[in-house]
């Protein structure tokens, strides 16, 4: 096994539930974001598979990127180990019924990823090395506040940061290097949700589910940062088992990245362990992923939330979830009316954070029920998972998902994808009774139309019961998303 082939297989297999789904590109190529495929490139001599797409040729309706091959330069650069791509998302979402509010509940937003990838083997430097640099920009607004759900109806509206419109961050810059046929390392600023090898039916950020709870397991949010300085080992002792062990800066942020601040005061560390079992019952592809993470970061305990809510203190650790920041009294949310009173109460009542029991476990699977004999990426199957946290500071103590997803199988529509998914978030029993909260549940259905290989349009519908865990009416959220690959 060559070093580069091992590195590609490891990128496909490791890191469990944090990873992206399989590419929608042809099986002989990798996609724009670095998800390599296991098929070799057709050349005069056998060659290891690439880390990224090599061929950008074709007319306007059939090429993989809107800007094409740049007169042949783009494909030549890719063959020599240099790839640059831009992926954009534009979306609209609206809250048609229920939730926190349907007034002014229609929003437009979008994002762009700028991705540079380097393959040191193809560049003639050394074998088995891979570099990735990704910046991203977010604009517009989501409808998380209007729906009031714990799991935002579209994760793209809250990433990479919650700052106002137009925020741009350098979210990823890392290196991956093979040390032997069964061992490799990864180091740098890493976004775990974009590492290859995740759930085939849910984790693609561009063309599958929008709801945050179906895209990634909510339990992982309690201890794993979105983007942080990371060092880790990846290993594949057998063809059916792979794993990764990573150490991350618990305070890592894409907007404050840098070697000078990593693992410095305030100092906390997240340790992540993931294992993936590759199974093939009845000759159908499937994966079982087990993940455990522990963090030393300090947090405010949930049994102090009553004092925080009365003081009107924003619950910062839950800022990416729609957790209510005020208690329920006689069915109505209540808080101190004066900003001066809230400021005084904040100083008097805010408790000191502690760092006990900051761990999470989550599991997920994908299993094809049918695969086309001609193209194994064409088919449909089941997915699901669950997550556990101690619930002492994170509002969600258990999370569950189950659904059906697929690609192609419709005559003349090989690039279309579709799915229906269900999620349930059980809230922690440590949340004070004055919040009067219940479990949040939701269902999402989408269909991704491939207009051209570089343009996909996805209508989406979500129905969310008990949004935010409160007593609001069932929310009906509609959306439309367009992905363009430049």
pLDDT tens-digit profile, the chain (486 residues): 444 444 444 443 443 333 333 333 333 344 555 444 333 333 333 345 567 888 899 999 999 999 999 999 999 999 999 999 999 999 999 999 999 999 999 999 999 999 999 999 999 999 999 999 999 999 998 898 899 898 999 999 888 876 667 788 999 999 999 898 899 999 999 999 888 778 999 999 899 999 999 999 999 998 999 999 999 999 999 999 999 999 999 888 877 655 555 656 668 899 999 999 999 999 999 999 999 999 998 876 665 554 444 444 444 444 444 444 444 443 444 444 445 444 544 444 444 555 556 899 999 999 999 999 999 999 999 999 999 998 877 888 999 999 999 999 888 899 999 999 999 999 888 775 656 678 899 999 999 999 999 999 999 999 999 998 888 899 999 999 999 999
pTM of the shown model:
0.81
Residue 290 resides in a domain: yes
At residue 82, the pLDDT reads 95
**Tokens 């085939």 correspond to what residue?**
200
Residue 320 resides in a domain: no
At residue 264, the pLDDT reads 61
Residue 34 resides in a domain: yes
Residue 128 resides in a domain: yes
At residue 159, the pLDDT reads 84
Residue 46 resides in a domain: yes
Residue 317 resides in a domain: no
At residue 434, the pLDDT reads 53
At residue 46, the pLDDT reads 39
Burial 404-414 (b: 16+ CB within 10 A, else e): bbbbbeeeeeb
Residue 175 resides in a domain: yes
Residue 250 resides in a domain: yes
Q: Tell me which H or E stretch contains 74.
A: helix 73-79
User: How many domains does the chain contain in total?
Assistant: 1
- Picking from 337, 240, 340, 304, the residue whose alpha carbon sits closest to that of residue 435 is 304
At residue 414, the pLDDT reads 93
> Domain residues for 141?
3-299+354-485
CATH number assigned to the domain comprising residue 117: 2.40.160.180
φ, ψ (nearest 5 deg) of residue 112: -140, 135
At residue 352, the pLDDT reads 54
At residue 303, the pLDDT reads 53
Contacts of 302 (CB under 8 A, 6+ apart): 391, 392, 393, 394, 395, 428, 430, 431, 432
At residue 353, the pLDDT reads 59
């Amino acid at each position: 096994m060559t070093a580069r082939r091992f590195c590609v297989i490891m990128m496909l297999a490791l890191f469990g539930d944090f990873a992206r789904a399989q590419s929608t590109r042809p099986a002989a190529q990798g996609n724009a974001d670095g998800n390599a495929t296991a098929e070799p490139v057709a050349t005069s001599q056998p060659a290891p598979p690439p880390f990224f797409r090599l061929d950008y040729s074709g007319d306007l309706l059939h090429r993989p990127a809107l800007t094409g091959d740049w007169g042949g330069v783009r494909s030549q650069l890719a063959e020599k180990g240099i790839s640059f791509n831009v992926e954009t998302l534009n979306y609209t979402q609206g809250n048609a019924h229920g939730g926190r509010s349907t007034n002014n509940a229609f929003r437009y937003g979008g994002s762009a990823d700028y991705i540079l990838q380097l393959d040191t083997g193809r560049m003639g430097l050394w074998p088995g090395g891979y570099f990735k640099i990704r910046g991203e920009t977010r604009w517009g607004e989501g409808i998380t506040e209007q729906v009031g759900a714990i799991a935002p109806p579209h994760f793209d509206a809250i990433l990479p940061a919650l700052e106002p419109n137009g925020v741009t961050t350098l979210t990823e810059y890392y290196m991956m290097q093979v040390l032997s046929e069964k061992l490799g390392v990864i180091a740098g600023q890493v976004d775990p949700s974009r590492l290859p090898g995740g759930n085939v039916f849910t984790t693609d950020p561009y063309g599958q589910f929008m709801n945050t709870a179906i895209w990634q397991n909510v339990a992982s949010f309690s201890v794993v940062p979105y983007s942080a300085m990371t060092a880790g080992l990846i290993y594949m002792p057998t063809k059916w088992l792979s794993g990764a062990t990573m150490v991350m800066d618990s305070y890592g942020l894409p907007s404050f990245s840098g070697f000078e601040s990593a693992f410095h005061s305030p100092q906390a560390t997240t340790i992540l362990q993931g294992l993936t079992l590759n199974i093939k019952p009845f000759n159908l592809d499937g994966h079982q992923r087990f993940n455990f993470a522990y963090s030393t970061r300090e947090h405010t305990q949930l049994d102090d939330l009553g004092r925080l809510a009365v003081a009107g203190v924003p619950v910062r650790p839950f800022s990416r979830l729609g957790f209510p920041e005020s208690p329920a009294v006689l069915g109505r949310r209540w808080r101190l009316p004066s900003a001066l009173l809230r400021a005084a109460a904040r100083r008097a009542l805010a408790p000191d954070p502690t760092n006990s029991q900051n761990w999470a476990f989550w599991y997920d699977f994908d299993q094809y029920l049918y695969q086309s004999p001609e193209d194994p990426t064409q088919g449909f199957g089941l997915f699901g998972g669950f997550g556990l946290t101690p619930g002492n500071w994170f509002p969600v103590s258990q999370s569950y998902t189950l659904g059906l997803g697929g690609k192609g199988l419709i005559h003349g529509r090989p690039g279309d994808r579709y799915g229906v998914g269900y999620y349930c978030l059980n809230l922690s029993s440590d949340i004070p009774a004055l919040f009067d909260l219940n479990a949040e549940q939701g269902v999402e259905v989408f269909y991704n139309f491939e207009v051209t290989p570089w343009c996909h349009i996805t209508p989406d519908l979500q129905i969310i019961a008990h949004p935010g865990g409160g007593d609001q009416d069932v929310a009906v959220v509609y959306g439309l998303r367009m992905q363009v690959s430049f």
